[in-house]
Every structure is written in C-alpha cells, then in structure tokens.
A and B are shown apart, each in its own frame.
Chain A
Amino acid sequence: MATETDTGFGQVSRVRGIAFKGISFAASVVGILALAVLLAYVFWDAFGLAEAGTTWYLAYTATLLVPLLGFVAYARTRPTVAAGAFELFGFTLAGGMLTFATIIVFLVIAGPQVWFTYFLTVLAPFLGLYLYGQYDREATWVGLGMLGALVVGPIVGTLALGILGTAAALLGAPGVYFLTLVLPGAGLAAFLAADQFGLSRRRAAAVGAVIPVVAIAGVPVVDQYPAVARSVWFVIVVMFAIPVGYALGNTASQRERWPAFALPVIVIGGFLLGEFVVGALGASQPEPWLDWQFLTAAPSRIAAQAGLYPAIIGSVFLIVLVALFTFVFGVGTALYLEEYAPSSGPLGTATRLINVNISNLAGVPSVVYGLLGLGIFVNIRVDVGPVVYAGLGAGTVLAGALTLSLLILPIVVISAQEAIRSVPDSLRQAAYGMGATRWQTIRSVVIPRSLPGILTGTILALGRAIGETAPLIMIAAADTRYSPPGGLFERLTAMPMQIYTWAFLPQDAFRYGVVAAGVVTLLIVLLSMNSVAILVRNKYQQEAY
C-alpha cells in the first residue's frame, strides 16, 4: 500500500526536500535565537529600559539609530569604509580597555612604588636591550640578555624594593608615571609615526614630542577636576591617545577610507543631540542598574547601593596574570612541539603522547582543574629539608591565576600550534639556506608570521578564563569582597564569582536588577576582548601576502 503513495521510481518529492531544508535552517538558528532573546531580556533589565517613555525611544531612534543604520547600509557595499570604521571602533575599544587595565594594574593594584621598582629593574633593561638589538644587529647575545633580564630583574627588584620605592615616593606618583609611561609612550609614538606612516625623522620626533607636551599642558586643566588624578591623566594620554591616534592617522592617510570618519561623528553627535532633545522634551528616561555607581561601588545588601568594583579589579588582576603565564608557557610549548621535538623514533612517540595529552587536557572539566588547584596550591604542605612549601593560601590571587592558567593552557597551546603549522615550510628552508640557526629562524621567520594567529587564540582563551567560576569556587575564592585585592597573596574575588553569589538572592531587585547589570558588564568585557581578537586577525590577514 505504502509504495503507491510513496515516491516510486522516477518520482521525486519536492516537498520533502524543501521541508528538510526548512527544518535544518530552523535548527541552525534556534540556538542563536534563544540566546538572542535571553540577551535582550538581560540588557532590558540591566539598563532599566522598562522605565523609559515612548518619547525617549523616538528621540534616540531619530538622532542615533537611524543615522547609524544609514551608515551601516552605506558601508555594507564599501569594504574599505567598513574596514576603516571597524578599525576606528576597534582601536577605540582597545585603547579604552588598555587604559582601564593600566589604571587598575599600575595605580590600584601595584601602586607607583612597586611599579617604579620593577620598571627600573625588569622592563627598562629589557626594552633597552631590545632597542640595542635593533640598532646593532650583529650582537647575538642580546636575546639571551633579554631572557636574563626577565629572570634576574624580578629578583633584583624585590631586593631593591626599599631603596627604589623610597626614590619613587620622593618623585611622587605623577612623576613616576611621567617617567615610566609618558616618555616611553612618546618614543613609541615617534617610532610608529616613522615606521607606519613614513614620516621624516624630524616630523616623527615632533609627533613624539606632542605626547609629553599635551600631558604637561593638560595638568592645570585636570587639576580642576578632583575626580581625575594627574597619574590617571598621564595614563589616559598614553594608553588611550596612542591607539586612537594611530587609528585616526591610518584612516586619514588613505583617502578612500575618509567616509569612515562619519561613524564617530554619528555616534557622538547623535548621543549628544539625543540627550539634548530628551532634556528639552522632558521625556521619562530609563533607570539603568548598570551605571557609574554600579561600577565604582562595593557590594551591598541594599540593591540600590550594590556595586561590582572589587570584582572588576579582581578580574582584571587575574586576567593580566593569566595572560602573562599562558602566553609564555603556551607559546613556548607550541614552539617546542612544532619546531624542536623529534617526530620519529622513541622520542617521536613521546612527542605524540604529549600532543594527545594536551588535547585530552583540553577536555577535562574545569571543576577538576579546581581540584588540581586546591591540591597543589592551597591544601598542601611539603617539607624538603629546610624548605617548606605550604601552598599559596586559600583563594589567593596567585593561586587563582595559576589554576586558571593551567585550565586554558591546552587551548592556547593548540591554537598556537595551528598558527605555527600554517607558516609555510619554504620560508623556514629559505632562512636555513641563508645560514640562520634554528632559533634565528624561529625568532625572525616563524614567530612574526604566526603571531597574529597566536594572539587571536590567546585572547579567545583569555575570554574563557574571565568567565570561569567553578575553579575559583574550588580554591575557595571569596564570595564577596568589599575592597579589591591589593596583592598576589590576598583573597581573590572576580566578576563571575560575584554574579554567582548574587544570583541566589531572592529579592527581585537583585534577580532582575543587580545581577543583570553584572552579567551585562561581564558580557561587554567579553565582547570587547573578542572584537580585539578579530581586529588583530583582520589587521594582519590584510598585511600577509
């Protein structure tokens, strides 16, 4: 019976094919749509958009949304304009993140004295040797010297902390940041001007001189606002102005990219105009939970006063340390496995085992890494003669950073291996043919070619680390801290930890307000990191030949 109604020989059912295509398309978007709805809800709650009146929506649609959509429609068909606009957007974002991270790490966590000491003992010798290496290309000991500076510098710095710290105190915090950030920043700007835009030496020097001049000229202005310290102003001049200035210069130097300048004009102008119109009409505005107060206040039992400040500082502290550890060890491992490790013989088997091991480590649940951290960084006591290792303390910043580093290390290694493998072998052979040693080949051919891929993979892995909660709970990080951690051995808190703690509170003000704001903050940080990763990839893909 069935054969009569079913498609027999020579008959083809179009309906079945179309239905299948429709169903499989629906399946492709169902997850994305579900997440989009959830995100819309959480943004709605975090920004308190329910309170906004129709006038507010109409005002901003007219002043901001419509021009923005118009620009998108215009840029869609013009790839150079779109690329320029994305570059402006991405570098502004990167500059903002860099400024923010620098202020937190140098001003809040380290403080001028510690920073000054390690700048003099580690960073200055390192950079000095690097510059010397660029100048005298025959000096083959420079690389080893840089490595030595990284190993010896911290030890010398720790010993000299007292003396140099006093010197820093005499200089004063603004003086320290002027010497250590503004002046090197000026050098970097001059170098970029000469290297990227082909300016003459004299003009490049003038570009570099602009930075210290602006920094000093701005001091009297900044002094008018007690909220902005002179040190903060110096950081902003260097960390925000250089990337943004670079993006502006890059866009300005290519005529076909000029329309991209419309984007910042539309965004800033539209925002100011919208603000003005809303104020003039007296429209009811949204009541956001995510505001300046939320970002700068400590957690509280009262929803209206609760803030995420200590957790934000903790997360930045954590992610900076994790980035340092994983970049060094991840790239080192990948370089060894791809460039040095033998691929045949008994040692070849060992290499294969290490590779299998790494891919299996990437699949171990994060909570098990938490147990590892608990076992080797927290609850441990090893006596080897006079040396006693009693762990790093329960829930300390260092224990958390090391645990998270071990967690994402396999991901970083795998992505770095892929990037290194994609460097064509002919380039290596060419370098060997010119008499380069293996390390010289790696340093001057393999690393520069694979760096964009490595950086992209590392940033994406860091995005995973910043959202991880379970390992931090396992190593007993603090549920709630009212002040940010000030050192490596202080109890840690982080954004996802705080979200986890708040999410169990039954009050609606927390469930639909404070936690939503925390979630949105975390998502915005993640989104920014991923945009920067994409920017790095696009930027270098264009330059690769």
Chain B
Amino acid sequence: MSNEGQTPDLTGDRGFRSVRESTYKYALAGCALLSVLTTVGIIGVLLLDAAEFFTIVPVGEFLTGTEFSPNLEPVAFGVLPLVLGTLLITIGAALIALPVGLLTAIYLSEYASARTRSILKPMLEVLAGVPTVVYGYFALVYITPALNVVIDGVNGALGTQFPTLGLFNGLSASIVVGIMIIPMVSSISEDAMSSVPDSLRQAGYGLGATKFNVSVRVVVPAAVSGIASSFILAVSRAIGETMAVVLAAGPQPPDIPPVQTAFGVIPYMAPGDLLALYSDSAATMTVAMINIAGSDLSGGSTAYKALFAIGLTLFAITLAMNVVSDVVANRYREEYE
C-alpha cells in the first residue's frame, strides 16, 4: 500500500478511481436527462388528454367554433373567441413594446454613455422581474381608473364618444403586458446592435452620414435578424402571459364582431368594432385555462379535457414562434469578421 514511503504511489487505485469517475458521470447525465423527460412529459400529458377531448368535440368544431362556454349549458368549445382575445392583448402589447423596446435598444447601443447604460440596463430588467400577478393588480386597481379619468377628460374636452372602460378591459391588460415585455425586446436587440462591428459605423461616418443616419440606416439593418428574433420572442411571451391578463382582462371572452363583406366578396370586420372590444373584458386562451382550473379539476369532465386542448394549442403556437425566432436569428445573421 504505502511502499514503506520509498516510492510515491503514482498509479493510484485504478479500479476504484474509474468506478468513482463513472458514478459521477452517470449521476450528472441522469440530471441532464430530466430536461428531456420534462419535454416528453409536457407533450405526452397535453397530447393524451387533448386526444380524449377531440374524441368528444371534433377538431374542426374546436378550431372554428365562435362560442366558448365550458361550464354553462349549452356548453360550447369554440376556441376562436379566445384566439381573438389573445390577438387583441398581444397586438396591443406589441404596439407598445416593439417600438419602445427598439428605440430603447438604439439609445442604449448608440447614444448612451457607459455610465447611463450601467444604470438603465438593470432598471429595465426590473420590469421583467416584477411578478405578473402584481402587474395584473396594478392594471385592475390603478391603471383602469386612471384611464377612465383620461377618457372622460377627452370626451368632455373634444366631444368624442369613447366608451368608458369596464372593471375588466383589454386596454389595461395590453398596457401592462406591453410594459412587461419591453426588456425582452430591448436586451436582445441591443445585444444584436452591439455586435455590429464598429468599422461599419466608421464607414458610414466617413461617407458623411450623421449619427442618426448611421444608427437608423446602418446599425439597425445590420442587426435586423436579432431585432426580428427579439420581436418574435416578445410576442410569444405576450401570448403565453397569464396572471396579468387574468386580473386585468377578466373572465369573459370577447364577442366576435359581425363579419361584413366589401365588394360582396372580401370579408372583413369593421375596425371600430374591433377597437371597441378593448373597452371590455377580453379573456385569452390562458385566462380560459385558469378559469376552468379554478372551477373544476376533478378530471373526467369535458371542460377538464378542454384545458389540455387549449394548452396544446398554446404550447404549439409558442413553441413554433420560439423555433422561428431561433431560425431567424441564426439563418439571417449577417456574418462579420
């Protein structure tokens, strides 16, 4: 064993050592397997219960139905009102977050001093760190009353007829979701813009371009793949957002406005009708899931299975958007150096 202390044991205990090494290796590999199991679990759970749901309610009826009332007779499981609610909130949030986030990214990457950036960036991250249920509470308790005061003021001053907002409304939900996803747009876009090489900017200045021209005509186009990918990710986050929308937008899905036809052939919905939907409750897919979960989780009922069908739809949409965002970021990246 110790060789009388003459020659040091340089070989070590080979057998034990290899056992030890492979024990650690397989223990760690087991940890890594967990992420694969999670994915399998998500897909398995969603597919199994959704498949049962689709034996009761045909896929076509689910995807094209215009009524959603899982608990009140007569029950109906059309997902379209929920999709409309999701679209309303997502578009509203995107209208706020995409321009603001892009301008923020341009400011941080092109204009801000190192000191300003070191202050602004952590503060922007705070926007994404506040729990979503807190955003929902803000919308319900502070933003909606404040918006009503503004609307009353505008109506009184200009004589317009904007409707006052209900207790639950899509507008306040859009605003808080928009604020929440600003950092997502700004941080990914800023990373893309920062990685545009300085030589491109110098070339622009050499041609006599102003800072504004360089920022908007050189840096933004060069970073467009990163910007696009950040937009897609942010929209995907808005689609999956739950608690803020539950508290702010309320439990009722929007009524689908009547479809009109232009020139007798092209169907469309009046923009006024669509805008009016923001003043009232606009439940999304996620809200419908929370409502079903809050009312009935015994298992076995059709509403319970509908939960998984909606979950599957949501999962498919967000997964597709994440994959597209990845592809956009990788394939259309301008390679420098």
| A residues neighboring B (CB under 8 Å) | 12-13, 16-17, 20-21, 23-25, 27-32, 34-35, 38, 41-42, 140-141, 143-144, 147, 328-333, 335-337, 339-341, 354, 356-361, 363-372, 374-376, 378-379, 394, 406, 409-410, 413, 437-439, 442, 460, 463-464, 466-470, 473-474, 476, 496, 499-500, 503-504, 511-512, 515, 519, 522-523, 526, 530
The CB with the most chain A CB atoms within 10 A, among B210, B216, B243, B290, is that of: B243
Known: A38-B138, A499-B133. Is A439-B297 also a contact (CB below 8 A)? no
Q: Could you tell me the distance in whole angstroms from the C-beta of B133 to the nearest C-beta in chain A?
A: 5
Q: Which among B100, B134, B142 is the interface contact of A30 at CB below 8 angstroms?
A: B100
Contact A519 B41 (CB under 8 A): no
Contact B137 A499 (CB under 8 A): yes
- Which 7 residue pairs of A and B lie closest in terms of their CB atoms, listed nearest first? A467-B131, A365-B240, A332-B31, A375-B45, A27-B103, A24-B107, A336-B28
Stretch of B56-64, B69-77, B149-157, B313-321 contacting A (4+ beta carbons < 8 Å): B313-321
- Contact partner of B41 among A35, A375, A410, CB < 8 A? A375
Report B144 CB to chain A, min CB distance, Å: 11
Q: Which A residues lie within 8 Å of B179 (CB)?
A: 31, 34-35
Cβ contact within 8 Å between B289 and A467: no
Q: Quick one: given A25-B111, A364-B42, A368-B42, are A333 and B31 in contact (CB under 8 Å)?
A: yes
Residue of B nearest to A355 (CB): B35
Contact of B140 among A41, A438, A442, A503 (CB under 8 A): A503
- Tell me if B200 counts as interface (CB < 8 A to partner A): no
- Residues of A contacting B141 with CB < 8 Å? 503, 511-512, 515
State in angstroms the CA–CA spacing of A99 and B75 once bound together: 52
A-B contacts, 14 listed (Cβ < 8 Å):
A28-B107, A28-B124, A31-B182, A140-B20, A333-B32, A368-B314, A371-B308, A372-B42, A374-B307, A375-B48, A379-B297, A469-B132, A470-B246, A470-B290
A-chain residues with CB within 8 Å of residue B41 when the two chains form the complex: 372, 375-376
| B95 beta carbon closer than 8 Å to chain A | no
Chain B residues near A367 (CB, 8 Å)? 240, 242, 286, 289-290, 311, 314
Q: How far is the CA of A438 from the CA of B25 in the complex (A)?
A: 9
**Interface contact B297-A371, CB-CB below 8 Å:** no
Tell whether B280 is near chain A: CB-to-CB under 8 Å. no
Interchain CB contact under 8 A, B17 and A469:
no
Binary interface encoding of chain B residues 299-319 relative to chain A, with 1 for a CB under 8 A from any of its CBs, else 0 = 100000001100100110011
Q: Which residues of B contact A394 (CB under 8 A)?
A: 297
Question: Would A28 and B293 count as touching, CB distance under 8 A?
Answer: no
Kindly name the residue among B41, B48, B106, B242 whose own CB sees the greatest number of chain A CB atoms within 10 A: B242
Interface residues of B (CB under 8 A from A): 12-13, 16-17, 20-21, 23-25, 27-32, 34-36, 38-39, 41-42, 44-46, 48-49, 99-100, 103-104, 106-108, 111-112, 120, 123-124, 126-127, 129-134, 136-138, 140-143, 179, 182-183, 186, 210-212, 215-216, 233, 236-237, 239-243, 246-247, 286, 289-290, 293-294, 297, 299, 307-308, 311, 314-315, 318-319, 322-323, 326
Q: How far is it, in angstroms, between the C-alpha of A331 and the C-alpha of B311 when the chains are bound?
A: 29
Chain A nearest CB from B119 CB (Å) reads 10
Secondary structure dominating the interface of B: helix
Residues A467 and B133 in contact in the complex (CB < 8 Å), given A439-B21, A473-B293, A474-B289: yes
Q: CA–CA, A341 to B106, complex, Å? A: 38
CA separation between A376 and B41, bound complex, in Å? 8
Q: Chain A residues near B286: list those with CB within 8 A.
A: 365, 367, 470
* Nearest CB on B from A418, distance (A): 13
Q: Given contacts A25-B107, A503-B247, is CB(A363)–CB(B35) below 8 Å?
A: no
User: For residue A20, which residues in chain B have a CB less than 8 angstroms away from its CB?
Assistant: 212, 215-216
Q: Are A437 and B21 in contact (CB under 8 A)?
A: yes
Report the minimal beta-carbon distance from A16 to chain B, rounded to whole angstroms.
Answer: 6
Nearest-Cβ distance from residue B121 to partner chain A, whole angstroms: 10
In the complex formed, the residue of A with least CB distance to B29 is A336
Question: Shortest distance in angstroms between A475's beta carbon and chain B's nearest beta carbon?
Answer: 8
Separation of A356 and B323 alpha carbons in the complex (Å): 9
| CB nearest to A10 among chain B residues | B208
Partner of A141, one of B16, B25, B130, B134: B16
B133 to A406, Cβ gap below 8 A? no
Q: Which residues of B contact A35 (CB under 8 A)?
A: 126-127, 130, 179
User: Which residues of B lie under 8 Å from residue A519 when comparing CB positions?
Assistant: 134, 137
